[in-house]
Structure 1
Amino acid sequence: MKFRVSGRLPLLPHQARVSSSLNHQLQRRYFRFFFRKLYASAKASLKNGPNSSNSDGNSFLVPGATVATICMLGVLHARRLYDDKKVDAARAKGIELEFQPDVKASFLRVLPLRTISQILGSLASVELPVWLRPYVYKAWARAFHSNLEEVALPLEKYASLRDFFVRSLKEGSRPLDSDPLCLVSPVDGIVLRFGELKQAGAMIEQVKGFSYSVSSLLGASSLFPEVAENAKDDKKNEGNDFVDKSKKSWWRVTLASPRVWDPTPACPMKGVFYCVLYLRPGDYHRIHSPVDWNVLVRRHFSGCLYPLNERATRTIRNLYVENERVVLEGQWQEGFLALAAIGATNIGSIELFIEPELRTNRPRKKFLHSEPPDEHVYEPEGMGVMLRKGDEVAAFNLGSTIVLVFQAPVSRSAGDEALSEFRFSIKQGDKIRMGEALGRRHSMQQ
């Protein structure tokens, strides 16, 4: 048997120190080279002028912007790892974390989160050099577990981190559940809460130990209170009586007596349900229509921009009610439907594809939470905006939350008649993708 003798001797302590020093020198040289490359790119961009071509990848406006973006990715990743580790440890022990305000929640209230979000939004919108884009986006994907195989375009085509964040997917990446009686998830996310609202003053549980009002989430002018009060009423004249009694505006009349769908329901008894979905930073961030429906009104609440992560939900009261959000209300074949898109810290903006002129995350003129929302009625004399299941509705910038509130049939005793009932097909904590079923209507034989 032959033995190979290495010519290298084991490192002595002073040799180990020399090797460590050499590694530090190499690292410093690498970073000096990296920053020189950034500086050269910025200098060339300024020399060519603002109207120069961007094809060579040298239209880099501020060298520090890219560095700041990379640092932001590192901070977000470290924070996500910390939060996930804490939550996973609690769940492994079978513990559901309860609501408990802390010092950080009070500190967030005095921070200029809107200004911070606007600055970070500007940084994320800075055009990156072509050679750097794949490295930044791959680093993001590794940090937040994004699937780059689903991305519709080559990574070099996304000029900024913001463009990459609101990216579209390859065709067929999100197949829709074809069941016409099925309500699908409008986003990729995690199921936080879901259930049925039993009464007009119903509350949605934000976290164990604290809940918030649905009416405060959707707005004082929402139809929800009346819908909830009449959810168990199967009188045929319910819509006309309601209109004559309260003399509501045109769109409330439309909601009470819809002109789009007017079928004789298989089960006239309706319940009101809700579902809360959280989008992580690495998720696909476009919002799609969960069903075929008619959007009649939009409300924009210019609120705060608190974070919407696990810790924030456990420490900040009325988190979803106080944050900036866009609410869409309308009608689907089973009755009332509302979709609330809630913004969060960092970029904080919400793009509404059915109303491109809407601008969110703007400087607030008033600082009182009681200021009324900006409300827009779609085609007062027409049918509103018709959306098909799976149509793109909006897009988030960075992690956020969707809250769905909708009517659906519930079972009741009626002899031997075949009745229908809506049932959720999800569990709390499930990871769900856009197009997968949240729940569906089932036939029942009494």
Structure 2
Amino acid sequence: MYLGLNANLIGWAMASSGIYRNNHPQRIYLNNQPRCRSFMNSLRGRDFKAAAGASQTGGGEGDANQFLIPGATIATIVMLGVLHARRLYEDKKMEEAREKGIELEFLPDMKATFLKMVPLRSISRAWGLVTAVELPVWLRPFIYRSWARAFHSNISEAAQPLEEYASLREFFVRTLKEGSRPLDQDPKCLVSPVDGIILRVGQLKGPGAMIEQVKGFSYSALSLLGSRSVLPISDSQEVLAEQYEQKQVRRNLNQRSWWRVSWIAPKVRKENLAAPIMGLFYCVLYLGPGEYHRVHSPVDWQVMHRRHFSGRLLPVNERAARTIRNLHVENERVVLEGKWSEGFLAIAAVGATNVGSIELPIEPELKTNRPKLSLFHTEPPNERMYGNKDAGLMIKKGQEVAVFNMGSTVVLVFQAPSANAFQYDDVNSELEQSSSPGFRFLIKNGDRVRMGQAIGRW
């Protein structure tokens, strides 16, 4: 029902607002702005009778339409109401489950099958046209405050007055006032790249390196990042731990033998030069429609590769995650991959319904959600290498790396020091056990975070 209403409203909006009559590359302008002013004057109780008399005596269809709001504005207002009601219902269900301590499990339904038959990519492009419509200056605060109330946006943090945002799109991707998001400067912490809700955090274990989408269903990290990813998947820690136990006796004997030999022929024992023991971790963050829509770097790192996967645009809210298999893998996404001080790092910006446009400040020419002739949603990703083979593009902690036109999902996959882990000592060709506390998450599933807040430390 929601999708049908969405499609009908968008079609009506494009037809009635005259958006095809203007070929401006950046903005789409509303026609018939005098009609909007007449309508607002009638609402304020001024000139109502005069306007009514003009519509009767002036004759014609043009005068009768002077009280109509342009279709794009009506579509926007109705859409706000529908989205707000739907959000309140889903939030209530989720809050009730959390209060009862219930962790909802994966339960597929017919919604996924239905959604895959709906042309969500085309609908999302049409919604993008609607949000690009330039609104009358006097109407902007009303529309933006309505959106903020519906989705709990803090408009007081906006860098500019509301009247300065010419369209809904400009309002969605607004920047914030300086100092609104203080950045944790601790070099041994990883900060949240976005404002949002923590859906899942954990450590990648086992040969499959699985990311948990929701309790009861997981997907492979390689399926998200791409088969050509340099994700450092190693033997599972369980196997290494078993090998470690088997070598304890031989290690003790070797240590005693070393002390006996050292009395006869003293020598300098080699230090343990094995690389720090690393684990693979992941963090999935959901950005709601009312959140700050810009993605920032969680650490200082070098971006080496970019992959753009042209997929579906299914919704990515919590309910969708519980009912649609491989949600983040099937959707359109842009993956940035590189390295930081502790090893591998990848950021996946996942698109969603009405969020087909993902922009990269480091690559402005990249265009997502383009029309395509192929009937298949799976196709090889478009790839690009930044810099050269050894050095990529340097990105600082807190620097902007991506922009969503509405809420969506960001997935972090990264290496970090692991506590109580096992790894081979390259010098002695033996297993070593970590004695450091290792990386630990400072947040848990369901927590709300802000960009710049520390989400992990070691």
Query: Does structure 2 conserve the Cα–Cα contact (< 8 Å) formed by 1:267 and 1:419?
Result: no
Q: How does 1:36-435 map to 2 (within 5 A)?
A: 63-224=70-231, 227-229=232-234, 268-380=276-388, 383-412=391-420, 419=436, 421-435=438-452
Query: Does structure 1 conserve the Cα–Cα contact (< 8 Å) formed by 2:17 and 2:30?
Result: no
Match of 2:364, SS? coil
Q: Which residue is 1:240 aligned to?
A: none
> 2:350 corresponds to which letter in structure 1?
I
Q: CA deviation at 1:405?
A: 0.3
Q: CA deviation at 1:369?
A: 4.2
Q: CA deviation at 1:366?
A: 2.4
Q: TM-score, normalised by structure 2?
A: 0.74
Distance 2:118 2:381 in 1: 23
Query: Does structure 2 conserve the Cα–Cα contact (< 8 Å) formed by 1:59 and 1:129?
Result: no
Q: CA deviation at 1:270?
A: 0.6
Q: CA deviation at 1:81?
A: 0.8
Q: CA deviation at 1:196?
A: 0.8
Q: CA deviation at 1:112?
A: 0.5
Q: Which residue is 1:244 aligned to?
A: none
Bigger Cα displacement from structure 2, 162-171 vs 200-209 = 200-209
Match of 2:305, SS? strand
Match of 2:111, SS? helix
Q: CA deviation at 1:348?
A: 2.1
Distance 1:42 1:342 in 2: 31
Query: Does structure 2 conserve the Cα–Cα contact (< 8 Å) formed by 1:308 and 1:399?
Result: no
Q: CA deviation at 1:59?
A: 8.4
Deviations 1:187-236 (A, max 9, x none): 00001111111233121111111111111000011111xx12179799xx
What is the count of residue pairs matched by the alignment? Answer: 364
Question: Given the superposition, is the C-alpha separation of residues 231 and 104 from structure 1 closer, same or farther in structure 2, using an over 3 Å criterion?
Answer: closer
Distance 1:265 1:161 in 2: 56
Question: Given the superposition, is the C-alpha separation of residues 156 and 110 from structure 1 closer, same or farther in structure 2, using an over 3 Å criterion?
Answer: same
Distance 1:356 1:192 in 2: 29
> 1:429 corresponds to which letter in structure 2?
G
Q: Which residue is 1:10 aligned to?
A: none
Deviations 1:333-358 (A, max 9, x none): 00000000000001421111110000
Question: Given the superposition, is the C-alpha separation of residues 376 and 92 from structure 1 closer, same or farther in structure 2, using an over 3 Å criterion?
Answer: same
Distance 1:267 1:78 in 2: 53
Query: Does structure 1 conserve the Cα–Cα contact (< 8 Å) formed by 2:277 and 2:434?
Result: no
Question: Given the superposition, is the C-alpha separation of residues 144 and 370 from structure 1 closer, same or farther in structure 2, using an over 3 Å criterion?
Answer: closer
Distance 1:402 1:71 in 2: 29
Question: Given the superposition, is the C-alpha separation of residues 381 and 347 from structure 1 closer, same or farther in structure 2, using an over 3 Å criterion?
Answer: closer
Question: Given the superposition, is the C-alpha separation of residues 265 and 105 from structure 1 closer, same or farther in structure 2, using an over 3 Å criterion?
Answer: farther
Distance 1:373 1:415 in 2: 39
Q: Which runs of 5+ in 1 are unaligned?
A: 1-37, 235-263, 442-446
Deviations 1:91-110 (A, max 9, x none): 22221111111122211111
Bigger Cα displacement from structure 2, 123-132 vs 411-420 = 411-420
Question: Given the superposition, is the C-alpha separation of residues 188 and 211 from structure 1 closer, same or farther in structure 2, using an over 3 Å criterion?
Answer: same
> 1:292 corresponds to which letter in structure 2?
D
Distance 1:376 1:416 in 2: 38
**Sequence identity percentage:** 64
Deviations 1:284-307 (A, max 9, x none): 010000000000000000000000
Question: Given the superposition, is the C-alpha separation of residues 438 and 50 from structure 1 closer, same or farther in structure 2, using an over 3 Å criterion?
Answer: closer
Bigger Cα displacement from structure 2, 414-423 vs 161-170 = 414-423
Distance 1:424 1:390 in 2: 19
